[in-house]
Chain A
Amino acid sequence: MDMPILPSSLAWGIIAVFSVFWVLLAWWLGRNNNTLDDYMLAGRHVGFGFAVATAMATWVTSNTTMTAPQLTYQLGIWGMVGYSLGAVGLLLFAPLAERIRAIMPHGMTSGDFIRLRWGKTTWRVFLVISIFYSLGWLISLGMAGGILIEALSGIPYLYGMTVIIVICTLYTVYGGLKAVIGTDFVQTILIMVGVVALAIMIMDKISFEDIHSRLAEERPQLLNFLLPASIMFLFNNLFFGVGEVFHSNVWWSRAFAFAPGIGKKAYALAGLFWLPVPIVAGFIALAAPALNVNVPMPDMVAPLMASNMFGLTGAILVFVIVFAALASSLDSVLAATSDLVVKDIYKGHFRKNASEGELRKAAVWTILIIGLVTWLLSVPRLATLGSLLHFTGAFVASAIWPIVIGLLMRKGSGTQATLAMVLGTGLGLFAYFEIGFYVAALVSAIVSFLVMLPAMLGKDKYDWQDLNPENNLKTTSDNNPGNNPGNNKEPQL
């Protein structure tokens, strides 16, 4: 590594201040958690402001702030624009979130829906996909933390990665989803202010002409609107984002946690706020050739460029933004994955009669174990952030059609949904290795769609009442969300 711009003592200082703040805030927010619903779903009455903030902060991950520049550096203009299409996932999930909240007022996880809608075989396949994806996301976040800290301050990757994972695990354990959402709110403010400041600094610092002429001379394909790989990447990234949001319990748990009528507006607004972030973050990567910055690994381009362009102030700014971004996502994925493991694996498979207290303890232990597994798998730094993340694209995109059709139509069978996920994932992975990471999710979504196509054209079979075995809803009055338990509370958090 060439000399880092941020003194390691200053980096440790920033980490320490924010870590103490997150943990204290989480403890304070979680002090009134009494029931499992409080711990896992923040009492099911999260208000609009917090709902937008948590959706926004969770989606602005270290992937947005570090992988968007990586993909811009690798795939050019379309890499940057393509990454911002990840917003489509949130925008399309907005109407679905409202539907989820209305048709499953007692639901706790995305696994609940899959089990009740498609049956146990599909549920198990889905759990494998979802947990594999969550681990991939968690590892990419841990890695991003280590890479960021190393690139900016020279602190070894292992130390930075360890600190990030330990802190996020700690405060998630303390406060559950309330803590996650509360810290997300503060982190969103930090991210938004930081990104706006960064955009102003970029416009002030770089001459667009210099960037363009240097790219045209040395890296012409980064400006090419017909660069084949990036053309393929556009819809691949869109479907990857849609697959991530549609299947992941991170977003389902929020749909259950938001107060009635909040989910649709909150997800739509979060998607719109998120849209420009990858553009701003990604753009600085294009200046690397003009500034003669060596990029050892493409996923290091963002922190390297920030420190080269803006000096110490820029390095501190980027450090705070990315630290907030990855903490806000790491805690969310930890909490949501823990919910999935506790509810769908521990209770669903091994301890069907587990009490609420037992499940609460299991949730704490699960968060700790997932944190440990994430740390272990982040140590070897197996791939670049972009390629690791898009490897999981083959898995998640296969779940898009079974979820959409399952939520909106009474058609299709569990066998079709299972086949769609298995074949979609298999051929998506084949495409990943045979063609490139930039087509894995797209191929998976295409295959999954083809398998589910006959289901869409088939007969109506499913009875929506089966989604609520607890209260076995039978009357039209039950369709009014206001009549459902948990729905009559005022938004609070």
Chain B
Amino acid sequence: MAFNMFFNLRAIWAGRRLILLVFLICFQTQNAWSEVHLSIKDDGRSAGYVTLSWENDAPPGIYLLQQMKNEKWVTIYQGRDTASTFSGLSDNIYSFRVRNMATEGWSEVLDVRIEHHSLARALGFFVVGMILFFILCALIFLRPAHNINYKD
């Protein structure tokens, strides 16, 4: 009797271990799937644009992309795409997170700092470019081709 009880207990324990194992595997898989990785794919932060992309091991599904606005997460995209480009952003830090609707949990929050080039630097390039352009035009149009022949 005691022997049978011992074996019954062992069987129950083994069964529980099996259930536990299955649960752990499922949990692990679920956990792995839930780890959507959010990253910067095309970095134009000094020009006010950025392309975010995300991926995980789960089968393709519907993704939910959220952005922190006024201290609240606001959904800015819901669909099958795995990337999104934001442009025309002003200097600031923008926070994003994403999840696959088929799985639990959000990605880690990605903070994107937009910091434009200084206006002085930009105007410097602009002015130099303009001067160079005028020189080029002068060279081409003030020395017309028909005035230059093999003898000049």
Contact A228 B119 (CB under 8 A): yes
A436-B46, A473-B150 given; A297·B51 CB < 8 A: yes
Within the assembled complex, what's the spacing in Å between the Cα atoms of A297 and B44?
12
Bound state CA distance, A228 and B137, in angstroms?
Answer: 25
User: Is A234 located at the chain interface by the 8 A CB criterion?
Assistant: yes
Contact A98 B129 (CB under 8 A): no
Q: Do B129 and A238 have beta carbons less than 8 Å apart?
A: yes
Min CB distance, A481 to chain B, in Å?
Answer: 11
How close is A292's CB to chain B, nearest CB, in angstroms?
Answer: 9
For the residues of B in contact with A, the DSSP-based class is mixed
Residue of A nearest to B141 (CB): A95
- Cβ–Cβ < 8 Å partners of A229 in chain B: 44, 46-48, 116-117, 122
Stretch at the interface among A70-78, A188-196, A197-205: A70-78
CB contacts between A and B, total, < 8 Å = 166
Is B148's CB under 8 angstroms from A296's CB?
no
Contacts of A445 in B (CB 8 A): 132
> Nearest B residue to A463 by beta-carbon distance?
B150
CB within 8 Å for A296 and B150 given contacts A95-B144, A242-B136: no
With both beta carbons as reference points, the residue of chain B lying nearest to A383 in the complex is identified as B42
B120's closest neighbor in chain A, by CB?
A: A228
- The answer to whether A384 has its CB under 8 Å from any CB of chain B is yes
A35 → chain B, closest Cβ, in Å? 27
1/0 per residue, CB under 8 A from A, across B28-53: the answer is 00000000000001101011110101
Q: Which chain B residue shows the least CB distance to A453?
A: B135
- Stretch from A24-32, A138-146, A217-225, A371-379 that touches the partner: A217-225
Q: Which residues of B contact A163 (CB under 8 A)?
A: none
Q: Which residues of chain A in 264-316 are interfacial with respect to chain B, using CB atoms and an 8 Å cutoff?
A: 294-298, 301
User: A374-406 vs B: 1/0 string, CB under 8 Å?
Assistant: 000000000010010000000000001000110
Taken together as a complex, chains A and B put the C-alpha atoms of A215 and B79 apart, in Å, by 22
Complex contact A296–B82 (CB within 8 A): yes
Question: Contact flags (1/0) for B100-135 with A, using CB distance below 8 Å?
Answer: 000000000000000011110111011011101101
Question: Once the chains bind, are B136 and A235 in contact (CB under 8 Å)?
Answer: no
Given A231-B123, A235-B125, A236-B129, are A296 and B83 also a contact pair (CB < 8 Å)?
A: yes
Q: Is the CB of B77 within 8 A of A294?
A: yes
**A442 interfacial by beta-carbon distance below 8 Å:** yes
Complex formed: what's the CA distance from A242 to B51 in Å? Answer: 30
Knowing A232-B122, A235-B130, say if A96 contacts B82 (CB, 8 Å): no
Q: Which of A75, A220, A235, A476 has most B Cβ within 10 Å?
A: A235
- Closest Cβ neighbor of A237 among chain B residues: B129
Query: Which bracket fits the contact residues of A?
Result: 35 or more
Instruction: Verify if B8 is at the interface (C-beta below 8 Å from A).
Output: no
Q: Taking A74-B87, A226-B119, A231-B122 as contacts, is the C-beta distance between A446 and B42 under 8 angstroms?
A: no
Contact for A221 among B80, B89, B141, CB less than 8 A = B89
Cβ–Cβ contact A74 & B44, under 8 A: yes
Residue A251 interfacial (CB < 8 Å): no
Whether A76 pairs with B88 at a CB distance below 8 angstroms is yes
Determine whether the beta carbon of B144 is less than 8 Å from that of A435. no
Chain A interface mostly? helix
Please tell me if the beta carbons of A102 and B90 are within 8 angstroms of each other in the complex: no
* CB < 8 Å neighbour of B85 from A220, A295, A473: A295
Whole-angstrom distance between the alpha carbons of A232 and B79 in the complex?
A: 35
Measured CB to CB, the nearest residue on chain A to B48 is A221
Q: Given A228-B119, A446-B132, answer yes or no on A297-B42 (Cβ-Cβ < 8 Å).
A: yes
Q: Is the CB of B87 within 8 A of A464?
A: no
Q: Does B149 contact A (CB under 8 A)?
A: yes
Give the CA-CA distance A229 to B115 in the complex, in Å: 11
Report if B72 contacts A (CB, 8 A).
Answer: no
Within 8 A of B (CB), among A387-429: 387, 400, 404-405, 408-410
Measured CA separation A229–B27 after assembly (Å): 47
Give the chain B neighbours of A301 by CB distance below 8 A. 85
Contacting residue for B149 out of A295, A439, A479, CB 8 A? A479
CA distance A436 to B42 in the complex (A): 12
A320 to nearest B CB, angstroms?
Answer: 25
Taking the complex as formed, is B71 at the interface, i.e. its CB lies under 8 A from any CB of chain A?
Answer: no
| Listed residue (B42, B81, B129, B132) with the most chain A CB atoms within 10 angstroms of its CB | B129
Chain B residues, CB < 8 A from A410: 152
Within 8 A of B (CB), among A351-386: 384
Q: List 24 A-B contacts (CB under 8 A).
A: A75-B87, A95-B140, A95-B144, A99-B148, A221-B87, A223-B88, A228-B47, A234-B126, A235-B125, A235-B128, A236-B129, A238-B129, A239-B129, A242-B136, A294-B84, A296-B85, A297-B83, A298-B51, A301-B85, A404-B136, A408-B143, A436-B44, A464-B149, A479-B149
A residues neighboring B (CB under 8 Å): 1-2, 73-76, 92, 95-96, 98-99, 102-103, 215, 218-224, 226-232, 234-236, 238-239, 242, 294-298, 301, 384, 387, 400, 404-405, 408-410, 435-436, 438-439, 442, 445-446, 449, 464-465, 473, 476, 478-479
Q: Given known contacts A235-B126, A294-B77, A298-B42, what 15 new A-B pairs fall within 8 Å (CB)? A: A2-B79, A2-B81, A74-B85, A75-B49, A96-B140, A215-B88, A220-B90, A226-B119, A228-B118, A229-B46, A296-B83, A296-B85, A297-B51, A298-B85, A464-B149
